[in-house]
Structure 1
Amino acid sequence: MRTISAWGDKTQADIARLRLLVIGVGSVGLDVAVRLAASGARHVGVMDFDVVREHNLDRMIGSTQSDAVIQQLKIEVARREMERAATASSHRFLTFNQDITTKEGQATALDYDIVISCVDRPYPRAVLNQMAYSDLIPVIDGGIGIDVFSDGAMRGATIRTHTLTPERPCLVCSAQIEMSEVTLDKEGLLDDPSYIAEAGRAKPANQNVALLSVGVTAGLLSQLVTLVAKPGGRGVPAPLRYVLTTQSLEHLDMESRPHCPFEAATGRGDLRVALTRSDT
């Protein structure tokens, strides 16, 4: 009742009927999925191919030691917690043990109205970035970056959230992904110790800290509410950046780069340049 009083029956009905897909159900994605279920969303899917391990337990709220022992699929933990939180009188929560970078995973995502991206790798983010324009499916993306000094002490942290739709800059234009990194990720080189050593690159850091990941969740869900409820009559939300050191929330007035290939392919659907790989 309190939720409906915030934005009315019509907006609540709009949220309830939407087909929402959460991709990546680690600390952020699990929280997002559970809160969607608690808010009355009836059609929520979760996609991930990873399993719960002991180092996930401090971040995946709701996961248990038993989940880590049996290496339970993260999507099954998400479904269990969503069922516990659900408030809709009828609902259908689906799980997909898939990878969005495969043709099968992408086909699944194309069946949803809005996709919430909780992945932190360049390759899957590039696939979702393309889909937002070529297939006209809004993608809400967010993440956190933590800077540290040489002694390991925290220098600062930045949380970014974006809604990717035509007439908003894509992740490449907003400097959130680099296509050169996408190629390396696709070839598995970002996880190859020998390549990292030879190239003189820093090993990718595991930056998802439990106490800060809730900030990403809040940003993603705020973008969703703005997109659907349109508070103040505004439309698609603009990219936002929260800076931990100054505790400031910034509205990023970014523009698309000239000749952006993703935005130039808006609405091309199956004629898009294939970024996904074969399921086999």
Structure 2
Amino acid sequence: MLDALRLAGGFLSVVPVRPVEATPRTAGRAMVLGPVAVLPVAALAGLVVLLAQLAVLPPAVRALLVVGVLALGTRAMHLDGLADTVDGLGASWDRARALEVMRRGDVGPMGAVALVVVLGLQVAGLAALPYASGGALAVLLLVCASRAVLVLVCRVGVPAARPDGLGRVVAGSVGPLGVATGTLLLLGLAVVAGLAVRQPWWLGLVAGVLAAVVVLVLVRHTTRRFGGVSGDVMGAAVEAAFATLLVVLAAAA
């Protein structure tokens, strides 16, 4: 379990970890432990919220600082995955061509638009979130919840898009118990985050369910287009889930 936590930390944050052999069993556990592994980055985002509130910064400034800290704390690898995934989807209906576009790593027009839209939704959601006294806790929990969706991306039956890279290691590594655990974590964290900002419990539940639906649709579409999932798809799922959670919880503000 400790090896799985180290592996998850290496995948999901800039926190230095000792190299770990990524066996299928360890990789599956690592995806389940995603919400735990990202805790240092999530705590830093919560601290930024607290400091911004003490400094009485405008909501938009506070939101941008949180998004910036999350990008730094993850080497922006999830954002890079989002851009590459959308570029691949927009490049060609040919699988080999799409994967080659994703492999290049440069950001095309569609990837750039995806970054603007998803980051814009995250900033707008963070700015509109009714912080009250539990805003820092809510942000921490939502960051962790967005990593819980990785069990849906890497569940058994979902193949890897290519024979190398991160997808090869983790695709299909999460069994039914892991999927159930991760899904319960996603829903539970979303509900508690909503309660922290004085939203009704059911709104947090709706946010978690919609985040899961968005990720499942993404995985289905990318599997059909790319032949499976990759590290880029994992990053896209995390960013899309975080945006969905924030938008839903802020919608009632």
TM-score (norm 1): 0.23
Indicate the structure with greater strand content.
Answer: 1
Kindly name which structure, 1 or 2, has the bigger radius of gyration based on alpha carbons. 1
Indicate the structure with greater helix content.
Answer: 2
Q: Which has the higher contact order (CA 8 A, sep 6+)?
A: 2
